[in-house]
Amino acid sequence: MMSHNERLYQKSLLSELKPGIFCSLPMLVTTAEGVHVLVTEADLVDYAGLWLQVNEQNTLFGIQLHVALAETPLNDRDITVTERADYIAKTSSSRTFPWRVMAITDNAGDLITNQMVCLLSTPLQLDDTAWIKPGKVAWDWWNALNVYGVDFKSGVNNETYKYYIDFASKYGIEYIILDEGWYTLGDLFAINPDIDMEAILAHGREKNVGIILWVIWKTLDNQLQPALDQFEKWGVKGIKVDFMQRDDQAVVNYYWKIAGEAAKRKLLVDFHGCYKPAGLRRAYPNVIAREGVRGLEHCKWSPLFIPGHNVTLPFIRMVRGPMDYTPGGMINAQKDNFRPIFNRPMTFGTRCHQLAMYAMFEIPLQMLADNPSNYLKEPECMEYLSNVPTVWDETRPPFAKVGEYVVVARRNHDDWYIGAMTIGPVTLSPVELIYP
C-alpha cells in the first residue's frame, strides 16, 4: 500500500482470487450477464483511502492504512512509516465519511461519462475560478531534454528551456514544465546554477507561455510557505507535486492543504506519485491534473506496456477523474521492435494511437511528452496537437468494450473530435455520432 497506484490491470474470476490478495481502487467487475460494476469511493476527506482484500470466504472487504505514529525519512521523497496506530483516523468532532460507490451499467460506454465521484464530493470551496486555465504542456523529463539540430548543448539550462518555450509559443501550447533538475534535491531555494529562473520566466511571459515547476512533496511540505510565496512572486502558473505514495489520513490531508495553499496564490496543481482521484477537484478545481495511472513514462523502463492497457483505462481509472497519462510519443514501435530505453524512449503502438489519446483521455492539463525536435518532424501531428482542446462540453461514447476497443466523440463549443483506439481490427456498424 506504499504505492504510486500505477497499475497494469489483471483479469481474474472472483472465485479464483486467493485469500490475502488485495487491490487498489477503482476495481471493475463484469457479471456473466454483462453488467459492469465499478467499485470506488468519493469525498475522501481527513480519512484513509480504501483498498479491497479477499478473505477466506472469497469475499471482498475494505482495508485502509492506519494512522502513522512514527516515520523515518529515507531520502527527499520516501518516508517509511515505522509505527502505526490501531485506528484508521483521528477526528475531534462529528463528521461525514467517504462514500462507497458502485457504478452499475450494462453499457461499458456509460462508465466513461459517469459523474458519481464528482457529484458525491465536497462542493466548490473557491470564490474565484476565472484564473484556472486548462491547456497543453510541453514536457521535458520523458524525452530527457533530447533536443537536437540546435546550436547549444541540450540539458537543464536556459537555452534548452527557452527552446521549449519557443516551441510552445509557435503552436499555441499554454505551458511548459521544468521537471527534475531545476533545483538541488532537498532544497527548493538551491536553484541549479545553469538556470536563471527570472530569465526563463521573462521569456515565457514574452512568448505567452506559462511555467509549471516540478517539486518533491516532502521538500515542498518542509518549505511550504516561503516556497509558494516565491513561486507566486516569480509568476509561476502551477506546481507538479510528486512521490506522495500513500493514502493514510495524514497524507490525504496533505493533498487538501496543498490544494488550498496553492489556490490562495492562484497556482495550478498536478499531483503525481499519488492515490486515485476521490473528489478533491470539485472542491479545488485548481487541482487540474492527477497521475495515479500507469502512463507513458513506463515505456522508458518496462517492456510490459501494451495497447490493451490503454483501452482498459477509460473504463476503470478514468471513471474517477482526469488522469495525467502524458501521451504524445512520436517514436513508435511494434512488439518485435519495442525496447525500453530510458533516455531515448519510444512508445508501443502507433502515432495514431498516441494522437487518439488526446480525444480519449480526459485531462484538462494535457502533456506533450516528446521533445520539440521530434514534433517538428511531424507537421501533420502538430497540426492536430496544436488545435485539440483539453476540456469538453459534451462526451458521447458510441462504441466500447473493456480492454478491446473504445470510440469517444467529444464536443468543444461547435467542434467535435473523435478518438478511437483498439488492440486489433474491429468492424463496427455505422452510428449517428453527432446529435442536433
Alpha helices in 291-419 (DSSP H): 307-310, 351-360, 372-376, 379-385
C-alpha cell at 281: 477537484
CATH architecture of 14-119: Distorted Sandwich (2.70)
> 142-164 burial, b for 16+ CB within 10 Å, e for fewer?
bbbbbbeeeeeebbbbeebbbbb
pLDDT (0 to 100) of residue 435: 46
As annotated, the residues of the chain forming the CATH 2.70.98.10 domain(s) are: 14-119
pLDDT (0 to 100) of residue 147: 96
pLDDT (0 to 100) of residue 424: 83
Distance in angstroms (rounded) separating the CA atoms of residues 50 and 5: 12
Distance in angstroms (rounded) separating the CA atoms of residues 153 and 273: 30
Q: What is the DSSP letter of 236?
A: -
> Is residue 290 within 8 Å of residue 335, measured between CB atoms?
no
Distance in angstroms (rounded) separating the CA atoms of residues 212 and 421: 30
Distance in angstroms (rounded) separating the CA atoms of residues 144 and 387: 25
Distance in angstroms (rounded) separating the CA atoms of residues 358 and 134: 14
Residues near 416 by Cβ (< 8 Å), separated by ≥ 6?
409, 410, 433, 434
Distance in angstroms (rounded) separating the CA atoms of residues 74 and 97: 32
- Measure Cα distances from 17 to 3, 23, 53, 201, 315 in Å: 21, 11, 10, 53, 21
CATH code for the part of the protein at 135-422: 3.20.20.70
Report DSSP letters for 267-279, one per residue: -EEEE-S-PPP-S
Residues near 127 by Cβ (< 8 Å), separated by ≥ 6?
none
Instruction: State the amino acid at position 341 in one-letter form.
Output: I
Q: CB atoms < 10 A from the CB of 3, how many?
A: 15
> Is residue 367 within 8 Å of residue 354, measured between CB atoms?
no
**What does the pLDDT look like over 296-325, one tens digit per residue?**
999 999 887 677 899 999 999 999 999 999
Q: Say which residue the cell 476497443 belongs to.
A: 405
Q: Kindly tell me the sign of the dihedral angle through the C-alpha atoms of 314, 389, 215, 43.
A: negative
> Is residue 312 within 8 Å of residue 421, measured between CB atoms?
no
Report DSSP letters for 37-94, one per residue: EEEEEE---SSPPPEEEE-TTS-EEEE-PPPEEEEEE-SSS-EEEEEE-SSS---SS-
Distance in angstroms (rounded) separating the CA atoms of residues 143 and 160: 13
Q: Say which residue the cell 546550436 belongs to.
A: 151
pTM, two decimals, is: 0.96
As annotated, the residues of the chain forming the CATH 3.20.20.70 domain(s) are: 135-422
User: Could you confirm whether 242 is annotated as catalytic?
Assistant: yes
Distance in angstroms (rounded) separating the CA atoms of residues 46 and 71: 19
Closest CA to 363 of 322, 410, 398: 322
pLDDT (0 to 100) of residue 427: 83
pLDDT tens per residue, the chain (436 residues)?
999 999 899 999 998 999 999 999 999 999 999 999 999 999 999 999 999 999 998 899 999 999 999 999 999 999 999 999 999 999 988 899 999 999 999 999 999 999 999 999 999 999 999 999 999 999 999 999 999 999 999 999 999 999 999 999 999 999 999 999 999 999 999 999 999 999 999 999 999 999 999 999 999 999 999 999 999 999 999 999 999 999 999 999 999 999 999 999 999 999 999 999 999 999 999 999 999 999 999 999 988 767 789 999 999 999 999 999 999 999 999 989 999 999 999 999 899 999 999 999 999 999 999 999 999 999 999 999 999 999 999 999 999 999 999 999 999 999 999 999 998 888 877 766 554 4
First to last CA, the chain: 47
Segment (H or E) for 292: none
Of the candidates 179, 242, 248, 362, the residue annotated as catalytic is 242
Q: How many residues does the chain have?
A: 436
Measured in whole angstroms, the distance separating CA 219 from the mean position of its chain's CA atoms is 21
Measured in whole angstroms, the distance separating CA 415 from the mean position of its chain's CA atoms is 25
Of the candidates 179, 248, 270, 297, the residue annotated as catalytic is 297
